Amino acid sequence: MEPISLGRRLTAAADIEEMLAVAAGDAAGLLLGGIAVAALHDLQDDTWHIQAAGPSPAVAAVWAQRARGRYEKRAIGGARMGQPGSMQGRDEPLLDLGQDQGLDLGAPVPPGAPGNARSTASDRPWSRTWHSEEGLDGGSAGATVLEAEVDAGEAGSGLLALVLTRSGATNDGRAPEAPEAPPAGGAGSFADLRHGVATIAALTGLALRTVHLGGRLTAQERDQREQQQFLSLAAHDLRTPLAAIRGYAQLLLRQRNAIYTPLQRTGLETIIQQADRLAGLTELVLDVARIQTRRMPLRRTTADVGQIVRQAAGSLQASPYAPAIHVSAPAAGPLIQADITRLTQMAYGLLEFAVTRSDARHPVDVRVIGDGDGVLLVVEDASVVLEPEERDNLFRQLVVEAPEGTSPSLAPLGLYIVRGAAEAHGGRAWADSPSPHGGAGLRLSVWLPLQAQD
The predicted-structure confidence for 182-198, as pLDDT tens digits, reads as follows 443 333 467 788 888 88
Asked if residue 372 and residue 257 are part of one domain, the reply reads no
In a domain, 345, yes or no: yes
Q: Vertex 222, ends 216 and 228: CA angle to 5°?
A: 135
Q: What is the CATH number of the domain that holds 178?
A: 3.30.450
Question: What pLDDT, on a 0 to 100 scale, did the predictor assign at position 326?
Answer: 93
Give the residue from 343, 329, 358 showing the smallest Cα distance to 296.
343
pLDDT of residue 72: 57
Strands 156-165 and 143-151: antiparallel
Q: Which of 45, 18, 47, 51 is nearest to 159 (CA)?
A: 51
In this structure, are 32 and 82 located in the same domain? yes
The answer to whether 163 and 234 have CB atoms below 8 angstroms apart is no
| SS3 call for 363 | coil
Q: Which of 41-45, 60-64, 380-384 has the lowest mean pLDDT?
A: 41-45
Residues 282 and 258 in one domain: yes
Residue pair 419/429 in contact (Cβ under 8 Å)? The answer is yes
Q: What does the alpha-carbon distance between residue 366 and residue 322 come to, in Å, rounded to a whole number?
A: 14
Kindly indicate the confidence band of residue 1, based on its pLDDT and cuts at 50, 70 and 90. low
At which of 186, 217, 248 does a domain end? 217
- Give the pLDDT of residue 435: 66
Note the pLDDT of residue 128: 52
Domain-located, residue 348: yes
Distance of CA 244 to the CA centre of its chain: 42
**With bands split at pLDDT 50, 70 and 90, how would you rate the model's confidence at 398?**
confident
Q: How far apart are CA 446 and CA 430, in angstroms?
A: 7
Maximum mean pLDDT: which of 117-121, 163-167, 244-248, 279-283: 244-248
* Cβ count near 294 (within 10 Å): 9
The per-residue pLDDT for 445 is 94
Angle between helices 340-357 and 305-317 (to 10 degrees): 40
- Residues 282, 237 share a domain: yes
List Cβ neighbours of 150 (8 Å cut-off, separation of 6 or more): 23, 38, 39, 40, 157, 158, 159, 160, 201, 204, 205, 208
Q: What does pLDDT average to over the chain?
A: 74
The CATH number of the domain holding residue 269 is 1.10.287.130
Do 419 and 445 share a structural domain? Answer: yes
Ramachandran angles phi, psi of 6, nearest 5°: -60, -45
Q: pTM here?
A: 0.51
Report the DSSP beta bridge partners of residue 50: 39
Measured in whole angstroms, the distance separating CA 400 from the mean position of its chain's CA atoms is: 21
Residues 68 and 146 in one domain: yes
Write down which residue in 172, 191, 217 finishes a domain: 217
Domain that holds residue 45: 3-217
- Residue 102, pLDDT > 50, answer no
The whole-angstrom distance between residue 173's C-alpha and the CA centroid of its chain comes to 49
Whether 199 and 151 share a structural domain: yes
Domain count of the fold of the chain: 3
Burial category of 311 from C-beta neighbours within 10 Å (exposed 0-12, middle 13-18, buried 19 and up): middle
Same domain, 228 and 103: no
pLDDT tens for residues 44-82?
777 788 898 988 888 788 878 877 766 655 444 443 333
Q: Are 35 and 181 within one domain?
A: yes
User: Does residue 226 share a domain with residue 165?
Assistant: no
In a domain, 454, yes or no: no
CB atoms within 10 A of CB 335: 15
Q: At 368, which CATH number?
A: 3.30.565.10
Q: Is residue 146 part of a domain?
A: yes
pLDDT attached to residue 110? 33
With 80 as the cut, is the pLDDT of residue 30 above it?
yes
Domain assignment present for residue 63? The answer is yes
Asked whether residue 211 is domain-assigned, the answer is yes
Beta pairing, strands 300-304 & 335-339 = antiparallel
Average pLDDT on 168-186 reads 39
Residues above pLDDT 70, as percent of the chain = 71
| Contact yes or no for 379/369 (Cβ under 8 A) | no
Q: Is 270 left (phi over 0), alpha (psi -120 to 50) or beta?
A: alpha
Any domain includes 335: yes
Residue 219 pLDDT exceeds 80? no
Query: Are residues 282 and 312 both part of a single domain?
Result: no
**For 221-251, what is each residue's pLDDT tens digit?**
776 677 767 777 777 788 888 889 889 898 8
The residues, ordered by sequence, that sit 6+ positions from 215 with a Cβ below 8 Å of its Cβ are: none
Same domain, 213 and 327: no
pLDDT grade for 121, boundaries at 50, 70 and 90:
very low
Strands (E), 133-281: 143-151, 156-165
pLDDT: is 387 or 129 the higher one?
Answer: 387
Is 9 part of any domain?
A: yes
Out of 273, 292, 311, pick the residue that ends a domain: 292
- Please name which of 2, 23, 27, 30 lies closest in space to residue 180, comparing C-alpha atoms: 30
Confidence band, pLDDT 50/70/90 cuts, at residue 209? confident
Instruction: Report the C-alpha gap between 321 and 308 in whole angstroms.
Output: 22
**Banded pLDDT at 88 (limits 50, 70, 90):** very low
DSSP 127: E
Q: At what angle do helices 413-424 and 340-357 cross, to 10 degrees?
A: 150
* DSSP at 428: E
